[in-house]
Every structure is written in structure tokens, then in C-alpha cells.
Amino acid sequence: MAEPWPLVTSKVMCSFPIYRLRQDTRRSPKTGKDHTFLVLDSTDWVNIVPVTPQGNVVMIRQFRHGTASMVLEIPGGMMDLDGETPQEAALRELLEETGYVAETCIHLGSVHPNPAIQNNRCHTFLAGNVRRERPQRLEGTEDIDVLEVPFEDIPGLIDRGEITHALVLIAFFWYQRYLDARGIGRPQRMG
Amino acid sequence: MAEPWPLVTSKVMCSFPIYRLRQDTRRSPKTGKDHTFLVLDSTDWVNIVPVTPQGNVVMIRQFRHGTASMVLEIPGGMMDLDGETPQEAALRELLEETGYVAETCIHLGSVHPNPAIQNNRCHTFLAGNVRRERPQRLEGTEDIDVLEVPFEDIPGLIDRGEITHALVLIAFFWYQRYLDARGIGRPQRMG
């Protein structure tokens, strides 16, 4: 039966603003031999499904440097290191990236974005009765369009490959489960 | 309106077996200033939902070095560089990690695991009528348990936090959409 690998040594290879690249040496419980593995060591991430009283989802569109393409997604980002809770981080990102505030906020679910190479989690929240309160407050390199999308348009956007960000799909997956658990119908199913 | 950022220069910072860390310099269309961004440059990933004639999903359990924990997931991995198609890669990983072969195989969907920092995609397949044909053929550091899980147990495993791997949840999300689109009922809904 597969078992955990004890840690032998751990060292930081390089530090960047959004993560540290760490090399862990671990011992195989099967062979007793040591092997090295790279880990992206990072704070947890958050994202948020902001829903207006009319049932629109507040989405954002921005250039993403990984895929070098414009990406349709929901607000989100990294947790600050100063003791911010995941919910505070999600509401902060919502306000910064869109200028919207929420009347209610609940935790929908959390995942590990990639247990093979990253140590962090991504926490998803649902923001209810959101409304635009002030202009965006973007960081240095951010340039973000804000758009309201009727929830019933989301399945079509997924089918047509216009929403492809894994952590955004996960957020809608959690939201659909939340609606299902409460027997809340929608014009068209998401999941 | 947000626009793509033209590439100024690109250089590889370090190369590892599973990805290259690349630094791209791009010019902001808004300010005209140059900024640098880190990209994990990697081949595409694949994963596969293997379903037995009895309706069980063939899952695997292994120690993952990112989270330093035992992770319940589905077979998957990286595409080889030698011209392998995503479907060939998915069936190869299924065979290597579990010893199972499939009678049918279809593409369920593809995502970008993280457009902010990675350039690759993850392609998910559904393998039908799978059966165990031979022992696993594991690579150097792999130590993998294989287990068959009734599909109707999956929602409970998600609710109890026993399945937390984002790309595994995405695979079940695609599979549920596939079943829904064909009006195929299940004892309990996944999504």
C-alpha cells in the first residue's frame, strides 16, 4: 500500500513575488532511496462568484501572461500574508478588481489546484446581492474589464470554449452544487 | 478595454524535468511600460475517467509531493514530446498507472489549469468498459494504489473533502455534463 514519503531536506531554490520554488528531498518508503521534487510554495488563492440581485454573475476579462491570451474569469487572487482570512481576501479582490461590494458572502468549497507540484489551496466564495459601489482600484500591471453575465449564459460560454480557466469552472461547479442542495432551479443547468 | 500585451523578450530561467521556468517581458498597451512575468512552460497534461462495465470509476491513491499528502485522484500525467496525441497519452497513463485497458475512449473537455502562470492545457477523457489486463508499470518514483469506486460514492467523497484535486473535480464535472447532455440518470447527481 502506498505511504507518505518522509522529508529529508528542503531548500528554497528561488523566490519570486507570487511563489517560492522549493526543492524537497524525500525518502521512498518502498525503496529507501532519496529523490528530489520541486514544489511551488505559495499562499492560498481565493476566487469569488459575485451574483447581482438580477441573477447576473460579475465577471472580468484580462490578459493573462501564462497563456498569453485574454481570459474570461471571475474575481480572485492571492491571500495577503498579514493574517487576512480567505473570505476577507475574496471580498478585497472583488472590490479591487470590479468596485463591487457584497451584501452576503459564504464559502462554497476549496480545492488543491495541483497537489503534484503546488502546496496551496484555492478557496471559493459566493457573494450575494452585489452592487457596484466605486471604481476599480487596480494594481500596477492590472488592466481589467468588468462585465455582468446572466447565469444562464454560463453553460454556453463553457461549451464554446470561452471559459477555460480550471479554477473558474471549479467555482461554477461549487455554485451549481450549492443551488442543487437547496433545490433552487435555474433556466438551464450548469453542471 | 483591456488588450493583449505584446512580447518584448523571453528567456528560460531554469529547466526541470516537468517544466521550464520562463521569464517573459511584455509591454503594457495602457502605459507603454515593460514588465516581466514568470511562466511555467510545460507540455499539456491529460487525465481520464475510467468506468468499468459495473459503473465503478477506477481511481488511484498516491503520495503527492506538492501537498506532501496522500491524494485520491484519477489516472493522468503529462503528454510525451514524441508526437503522442492527448488521447494516446491518457490511455497510456491509464495502462501504466493501473494496468487497465479501455474498450472506448472519448474526449470530455479541456481546461487551462492556470492561465495566470502556466501556458498548458489539461485534456480529460472518458474511458468506457475498462478492464484490468496486466499489472501496473510504474516509473521510478511512483507508488500507486488502485481502487474501484462506485460512481454514486463520488459526491460523498467530494463533500467529505476526500477528493480535493482541482483537475480531478474538473474531470467529474465534464463527465456529469456528458451524462446530463444524454439524459443518462444516476442514483445521485454529481454536479
Q: Write the ipTM.
A: 0.94
* Residue indicated by cell numbers 480572485: A76
Domain A45-181 has CATH 3.90.79.10: yes
Residue of B1, B64, B191 with shortest CB distance to A145: B1
Please judge whether B189 and A190 are an interchain contact, meaning their C-beta atoms are less than 8 angstroms apart. Answer: no
Please judge whether A170 and B165 are an interchain contact, meaning their C-beta atoms are less than 8 angstroms apart. Answer: no
At B12 the pLDDT is 95
Contacts of A170 in chain B (CB under 8 A): 166, 169-170, 173
Please judge whether A164 and B21 are an interchain contact, meaning their C-beta atoms are less than 8 angstroms apart. Answer: no
Spans of chain B, pLDDT less than 70 = 185-191
| Whether B146 contacts B60, CB under 8 Å | yes
CA distance A116 to chain B (A): 5
Find the residue in B nearest to A26 (Cα): B65
At A139 the pLDDT is 81
At A25 the pLDDT is 97
Separation CA B164–CA B190 (nearest Å): 14
Q: Strand B104-111 vs strand B100-101: parallel, antiparallel, or unpaired?
A: unpaired
Across chain B, where does the E strand assignment appear? 7-15, 20-27, 34-41, 45-50, 56-64, 69-73, 76-78, 100-101, 104-111, 122-128, 131-132, 145-150
| Whether A39 contacts A118, CB under 8 Å | yes
User: Tens place of pLDDT for every residue, chain A, 191 residues?
Assistant: 999 999 999 999 988 888 999 999 999 999 999 999 999 999 999 999 999 999 999 999 999 999 999 999 999 999 987 889 999 999 999 999 999 999 999 999 999 999 999 999 999 999 999 999 999 998 878 899 999 999 999 999 999 999 999 999 999 999 999 998 898 865 444 54
Domain spans, chain A:
7-41, 45-181
Find the residue in A nearest to B34 (Cα): A141
The C-alpha cell at A69 is 491570451
At B186 the pLDDT is 53
At A11 the pLDDT is 96
**What kind and span of H or E run contains A61?**
strand A56-64
Residue of B3, B14, B21 with shortest CB distance to A63: B3
| Whether B26 contacts A65, CB under 8 Å | yes
Find the residue in B nearest to A69 (Cα): B4
CA distance A140 to chain B (A): 10
